[in-house]
Structure 1
Amino acid sequence: MEKRKLKLVNMKKIKDGRFIKNYQLTYLNQNTQCEKHYEMISFNEMTHPDDLGSHNGGVAIIALYHGKLLLLKEFRMAVNEDVYNLVAGRIEKGETIEDCVRRELHEETGLTLTNILQILPPTYAAAAMSDLKMTFVVAEVDGDLTHDHLTENEEITARFYSPQEVSQLLEQPNFNANCQLVAWFYCFISIFAKEGWPNVKA
């Protein structure tokens, strides 16, 4: 195994918010013995460097209904704008991944889970700033879209989109990054691979 140039030697909490905690990591450059301080955030209470990335925090759902892709248009407070996103949320204590998928679908869209096609291994959601891990789940859903279960602090509009509709949405800038990639590959598989790349001269 290749020897790392940076070695994590210390971790300490520097701020404890209601939901998010800030930590300072201290790395040692093994060539010059200089310390590098790096700040990151986490939803988890951590006391040892081995705790980093040890918790699977939530799910993101690639939901399909008769070939159409479910997307949310939701207001996100951190950017003060509407953003296209997948149904997603944190795994609550005692929940399985399937439990979380069912609950989040119900809360955000009113839909029911009918079939899980694939559960991907957990992946880092924002490795440059957090140890948050998410599990992507590809699923088939059914039911009537409703927003009756949203809280007073949520603004969400859910809709199923055809590949052609998603390709038009991709011209807009306000996407969650992971959702944008899912939408692009959804279009690529459904349209571009069959009809060729649009607006490209041979």
Structure 2
Amino acid sequence: MKISGVKKITNCKYLNLFSIHYKDRVDCEKEWIFASRSKELNPLEKDYTIPDAVVIVPFHMQEKKLVMIKEFRVALGGYQYGFPAGLIDKGETIEQAGKRELFEETGLTLKRVLQKSPSIFSSSGLTDESISLLFVECEGSPSSRFNETSEEIEVIMLSRDQAKDILYHPGIKFDVKSWIVLNNFVSQGVIIDVR
């Protein structure tokens, strides 16, 4: 495979479409269109070790429950179960962004980082967006009063049994990362093995 050119198709604030021309294994010309958060003319030149966003996987220390959010997602035309998340601001560390986003979306306070993933990609057939998963312990009382007006978020705290009840519910839409973590929580009772 050999990339021969990249063209920016749109010029939007948070997300753009790019067209990549390339040759496949048998030297046949192909085109692929994908979305990117890159502001550059060639997103393939960006530093993929620095993630675009952080996804926070919070465990409430006092309640001994996994914290999820039920959020309206325009592209789905309805609600999706997932974890607090957001873009990392310029000059901000993953941990700083995680602390800020956790508070903004849930009203909860990050107390301890358990584990941080490297930059990972959840849908590389459609986008080059990279995220870091931040597994944390948190405390406080859930609140949605800090949500932006463009967000509609409900904080949900789940015990292992409650998580088991919703894991295969046909009416619930899950973010892929969230379903995997929730499944792990149901089967092992922990969000991450920190041994």
> Could you tell me the TM-score, scaled by structure 1's length?
0.86
Q: Which of residues 8, 12, 29 in structure 1 aligns to 2:3?
A: 8
Tell me the SS of whatever aligns to 1:185. helix
Tell me the SS of whatever aligns to 1:16. coil
Q: Tell me, yes or no, if structure 1 residue 167 matches structure 2 residue 164.
A: yes
Q: Any conservation in 2 of the 1:52–1:131 contact (CA below 8 Å)? A: no
Q: How does 1:37-186 map to 2 (within 5 A)?
A: 37-48=31-42, 50-51=44-45, 54=48, 55-66=50-61, 67-172=64-169, 173-186=172-185
Gaps of 5+ in 2: 191-195
Could you tell me the percent identity over the aligned residues?
28
Distance in 2, matches of 1:88 and 1:140, equals: 15
Tell me the SS of whatever aligns to 1:129. coil
Tell me the equivalent position of 1:24: 19
Q: Which amino acid aligns with 2:118?
A: P
Q: Which has the larger radius of gyration?
A: 1
Distance in 2, matches of 1:41 and 1:19, equals: 10
Distance in 2, matches of 1:30 and 1:171, equals: 40
Gaps of 5+ in 1: 1-5, 192-202
Cα offset for 1:93? 1.2
> Could you tell me the TM-score, scaled by structure 2's length?
0.89
Tell me the SS of whatever aligns to 2:76. coil
- Runs of 4+ that moved beyond 6 A: none
Cα separation, partners in 2 of 1:98 and 1:60, compared to 1, 3 Å: same
Q: Which amino acid aligns with 1:184?
A: N
Q: Any conservation in 1 of the 2:8–2:42 contact (CA below 8 Å)? A: no
RMSD over aligned Cα, in angstroms?
1.6
Q: Any conservation in 1 of the 2:68–2:84 contact (CA below 8 Å)? A: yes
Cα offset for 1:30? 4.3
Tell me the SS of whatever aligns to 2:165. helix
Cα offset for 1:125? 2.4
Distance in 1, matches of 2:80 and 2:60, equals: 21
Distance in 2, matches of 1:53 and 1:39, equals: 20
Q: Which amino acid aligns with 1:51?
A: E
